Amino acid sequence: MKKTATRLADGRELIYFDESDSAVRDAVDQRDLPPRPPASELRYDPLVDEWVAIAAHRQGRTFLPPADQCPLCPSRPGRPSEIPAESYDVVVFENRFPSFAGGPEVAGSAGVGGLTGEADLFARRQGVGRCEVVCFTSEHGGAFGSLSPSRVRTVVEAWADRTADLSSLPGVEQVFCFENRGEEIGVTLHHPHGQIYGYPFVPPRTRQMLASARAYAERTGGNLFADVLAAERAAQVRVVAQTRHWTAFVPAAARWPVEVHLHPHRRVPDLAALNDAERAEFGPLYLRVLRALDRYFAPEGGPDLPLPYIAAWHQAPVHTDRDLAALHLQVFSIRRAANKLKYLAGSESGMGVWINDGRPEDVAARLRALADEGGRG
């Protein structure tokens, strides 16, 4: 793989990840772009000990353009895009409408760790960090599930590279790689792509999981993530698919109508820590899972029904609790039937108490059968 970094017309970084070492990337972005937006603002919510990002400039981001105006397709004569090249394999670039950007962090009250007065009740910080877009292919149609295993390997290399680089930036506390798929999820660009956030704090879900892992270690001496994986592999009833280095399973207390977790068998803190064998083996397994997901609600004998989903890589924080964390991928969907969506209503949104209409074991059994069919095909 060949990595080539360049700059867009407004100074944002763009990086090509080419599968051929002979690729030449000398095209220059000739667009006349406006200045980059200011950093967002973080406001502290003392009631739940969480930060909220205020990024008003994102209201103007691109929204569902027609295919011939897609900003993620390669540039062509008279139609420049975010990628100043005729074609590409995998590309990563700084988001034009970032939720977090800039650094190092401006000094000021962090707002966490003890309230001392009105200033801490309304604490604010600059929303430093980094937001990047990852284009999985130059082809506008298709989806991650239609990529080749070799292309998935290139994407994994890009994720690992960006995880390492963003982890070294001042002010970044956690790196989050993710993909949103489908308008039902809120996707605003149909081109196959994902995003990477470099957060200036450890997000709430990570803090909650690590607190649980810490309490479990103190109580049992074991690692919570490793023991959950071992228990799922032993039970097998919720396992969807597995290989030498990875297992995909439906969690026993799944919140979403369709939810699958993929864990490497060797506990590692982040994507950058995966070895060559683990990186190579991930793609074939993940593609089987994604194709099973697209068949989950499809009519018997009918065409696939593309599943709207979020694919979220959970990685260790950059500076804390890396010994407790374990890399894993969570894939989940809000679709609960072929023509129905799950809405987070009163109990989930108001109180954080989840209610799942299906049994995880039943979901796993159907996905396992579909994944086995895909594996034989």
DSSP 8-class letter at 71: T
**Rounded to an integer, what distance in angstroms lies between the CA atom of residue 170 and that of residue 173?**
9
Task: Reply yes or no on whether the pLDDT at 107 is more than 50.
Answer: no
Secondary element (H or E) of residue 166: helix 149-167
Task: Write down the pTM of the prediction.
Answer: 0.95
pLDDT in tens, 49-64: 999 999 999 988 889 9
Secondary element (H or E) of residue 212: helix 204-220
Write the CATH number of the domain with boundaries 2-202. 3.30.428.10
**Rounded to an integer, what distance in angstroms lies between the CA atom of residue 189 and that of residue 118?**
41
pLDDT in tens, 11-22: 999 999 999 999
Evaluate whether the domain defined by 205-376 bears CATH number 3.30.428.10. yes
193 catalytic per annotation = yes
Placement of tokens 């939720």 in the chain:
99
Residues in the chain: 377
Binding-site annotation: residue ranges for Zn(2+): 70, 73, 140, 191
What is the Rg, in whole angstroms, of the alpha carbon atoms belonging to the chain? Answer: 21
| Given 57, 190, 193, 265, the catalytic residue | 193
The two three-digit tokens of residue 336, written as one number: 């609960």
Numbered ranges of CATH 3.30.428.10 in the chain: 2-202, 205-376
The pLDDT of residue 125 is 93
Placement of tokens 């793609």 in the chain:
283
Report the candidate in 309, 332, 349 with the shortest Cα–Cα distance to residue 185. Answer: 309
User: Which backbone phi and psi does 310 adopt, to 5 degrees?
Assistant: -120, 130
**Rounded to an integer, what distance in angstroms lies between the CA atom of residue 254 and that of residue 252?**
6
Mean pLDDT of 94-106: 82
Taking the CB of residue 120, how many other CB atoms lie within 10 A of it? 16
